[in-house]
Amino acid sequence: MKSLKAFLFAAVCLVSVAATAQIQPNRPQQPQTKGQMNSQKLATTLYLIENFYVDTANIDKVTEDAIVAALKELDPHSAYISKKDVEKANEPLVGSFEGIGVTFQLIRDTITVISPTAGGPSEKVGIMAGDQFIKIDGEESVGKKVDNEYVQKHLRGKKGTKVTVSVKRGNDPELIDFEITRDKIPLNSINAAYMLDNHVGYIKLDRFAQESTAEFKEAFTKLQSQGMESLIFDLRGNTGGYLNTAIELVDQFITEDKLIVFTEGIHSPRQEWRSTKAGLYTIGKLVVLIDEGSASASEILSGAIQDHDRGVVIGRRSFGKGLVQRPFNLPDGSQMRLTTSRYHTPSGRCIQRPYEKGAEDYAKEMEKRLKHGEYYHADSIHFPDSLKYKTDGGRTVYGGGGIMPDIFIPVDTAYNSKLYTNLVRKGALNRFTTDYGLKHRDEIKAQYGVFEHFNKSFIIGSDLINGLKKAAEEAKVEWNEEQFKHSEKFLLLQMKALIARNVWETQQYYQVMSTVDPGIQKALEVLGNEKSYKKLLKGK
């Protein structure tokens, strides 16, 4: 606040000096630039509001609102981040945070542990899956006041600080107290890495974080040791992250000295990034999966793979975010992320989709794609010849925003029923499978031993379906038998996958669902046919 006031005072002084200079005709004056005039204009406005406005004005809020409004006029991705939110905004990309190390869900307004982080502070003191946190530091931690923000505020904290949790375990009426010393907790960016069959490996990357390259190398090496000959790299729903991470990951797939991406802007001269000798996987067959949720760094990677004919891109047209934001720190610790240039793929395609019609129109892009039928029919997408580009091998690709895949996969309508939507939207499906998984975890592990046996043999029977019906009733979801039949196969498999996730880990969810995943199934088909794979890359 002091620095802001000093800035405003200095600006007013400048205005006063300028005014004084006007009545001293013999003194030479330097003409002001437009930038200087606008800076003084803004600073003077804020000064006058603070000192002459009829009521007390929250000048901090006025300043922040002015910055937000100004950035909104520029483009959809320039943004202002307040001081208190700067650290939180960077956290998912930095790759770690400090806390107690548990995956949790809020079930009936109660913090329920899904699993403690392996080797983390909670696991070390004996916290177990299914534990419910009834008190935190002696204060009741149940009820409507408990949300994600409450959990973060009370359980996260600086490394070395302590927190006491009172836990309800199973049917034991006595609470168990644990003192947990907070520590650095890793945030993994790879959700799953496993073999789909004896030859094809699968890696799902959630975001391009600081440690993603190291995680990828570890996962890749593990799969290679299991006999992997082809790879499916899943970027669906991956909204991006660090540019350097995207470059490092592209570098794993292509040979030396090839253009990966370049950026350009009016005030930012062209800058190029090229591949090195570091590639782990520059020869084997590769499929990259994308969809409308794949953005920014995901588009840099899939665009480079496509332009260099290195692999087959399968899915739906990506989001179309190709604007580069550079962070600028402001005097009070807040931050402005200002768009300074645009991303271009090696062939020259601009990744960014148009935004000239304003932020509101831009925000409705996914809704417009749905109305146009783009999620269901590839031929609903039309590109003008002016946006035509060529890959290394001469295949035609198009600019204009986003990456258009080599093979289009429509949205799966198998689960498109009102019943399924309501079960998910009102939390009934998730609550029921979580409760079941936690309650029967030990029993399931004793019966099946390892996940592979569970995956082969576990069947969703009538008892579980009846349990879901009861959960639906509790959540006020009307059970429609016809709609259930429409999405039955998908719904039952998802129940199994969610139970697997709660008994084991997130990866097991993807392993169960892969058998009905249209993108993965198409990728396996392409990778299993050498002739078809090569034909796709040659464009003939």
Residue 39: phi and psi, rounded to 5, are: -60, -45
User: Which DSSP letter does residue 415 get?
Assistant: T
Q: If we measure between CA atoms, which residue out of 204, 208, 211 comes closest to residue 185? A: 211
* Tokens matching residue 275: 């591949």
How far apart are alpha carbons 177 and 306 in whole angstroms? 55
The reported pLDDT for the residue numbered 403 is 95
Residue with tokens 């639906």: 472
The reported pLDDT for the residue numbered 246 is 96
Mean pLDDT along residues 217-229: 97
Task: Please state whether beta strands 268-274 and 259-265 pair in parallel, antiparallel, or not at all (unpaired).
Answer: antiparallel
How far apart are alpha carbons 242 and 257 in whole angstroms? 21
Torsion angle, CA of 356/358/363/365, rounded to 10 degrees? Answer: -40
CA distances to 243, 398, 431 from 355, rounded to whole Å, are 22, 18, 40
CATH of 96-186, one of 2.30.42.10, 3.40.50.1240, 1.10.150.240, 2.30.29.30: 2.30.42.10
How far apart are alpha carbons 347 and 14 in whole angstroms? 50
Residue with tokens 């039949």: 485
At residue 14, what is the residue type?
L
User: Which DSSP letter does residue 173 get?
Assistant: S
At residue 209, what is the residue type?
A
pLDDT in tens, 465-503: 999 999 999 889 999 999 999 999 999 999 999 999 888
Given a cut of 80, whether residue 8 has pLDDT beyond it is: no
Q: Which of 78-82, 255-259, 412-416 has the lowest mean pLDDT?
A: 412-416
**Structural Rg of the chain based on CA atoms:** 27
How far apart are alpha carbons 215 and 472 in whole angstroms? 39
Mean pLDDT along residues 525-537: 94
Could you give the angle at which helices 243-251 and 297-307 cross, rounded to 10 degrees?
Answer: 30
How far apart are alpha carbons 60 and 363 in whole angstroms? 28
pLDDT in tens, 9-30: 444 444 433 433 343 445 556 6
pLDDT in tens, 267-299: 999 999 999 998 999 999 999 999 999 999 999
Residues forming beta bridges with residue 163, ordered by sequence position: 180
- For 253-270, give one letter per residue: b (16+ CB within 10 A) or e: bbeeebbbbbbbeeeeee
Instruction: Read off the pLDDT band of 2 (50, 70, 90).
Output: very low
Enter the CATH code of domain 190-219+238-411.
Answer: 3.90.226.10
Given a cut of 60, whether residue 349 has pLDDT beyond it is: yes
The reported pLDDT for the residue numbered 6 is 43
Q: If we measure between CA atoms, which residue out of 81, 66, 42 comes closest to residue 325? A: 81
How far apart are alpha carbons 310 and 260 in whole angstroms? 12
At residue 331, what is the residue type?
P
Given a cut of 90, whether residue 512 has pLDDT beyond it is: yes
How far apart are alpha carbons 478 and 466 in whole angstroms? 14
**Contact between 392 and 308 (Cβ < 8 Å):** yes
Domain boundaries, the chain: 2-57, 96-186, 190-219+238-411, 418-504
Given a cut of 70, whether residue 250 has pLDDT beyond it is: yes
How far apart are alpha carbons 317 and 402 in whole angstroms? 6
Mean pLDDT score of the chain: 87
**Contact between 513 and 236 (Cβ < 8 Å):** no
The reported pLDDT for the residue numbered 247 is 97
Instruction: Read off the pLDDT band of 3 (50, 70, 90).
Output: very low
Reduced to 3 states (helix: H, G, I; strand: E, B; else coil), residue 475 is coil
At residue 490, what is the residue type?
F
* Tokens matching residue 339: 């768009």
CA-based torsion, 19, 22, 26, 30: positive or negative: positive
Mean pLDDT along residues 432-453: 91
Q: If we measure between CA atoms, which residue out of 191, 147, 132, 123 comes closest to residue 435? A: 132
Query: H helices of 271-364, where?
Result: 297-307, 359-363
Could you tell me which residues come within 8 angstroms of residue 18 by beta carbon, excluding any fewer than 6 positions away?
32, 40
How far apart are alpha carbons 351 and 342 in whole angstroms? 8
Mean pLDDT along residues 57-72: 87
Q: How much of the chain, in percent, has pLDDT values that exceed 90?
A: 49
Q: What is the DSSP string of 17-63?
A: HHHHHHT-TTS--PPPPHHHHHHHHHHHHHHHHHHH-SS---HHHHH
Given a cut of 60, whether residue 241 has pLDDT beyond it is: yes
Mean pLDDT along residues 189-215: 94
The reported pLDDT for the residue numbered 228 is 97
How far apart are alpha carbons 7 and 1 in whole angstroms? 10
**Contact between 216 and 203 (Cβ < 8 Å):** yes
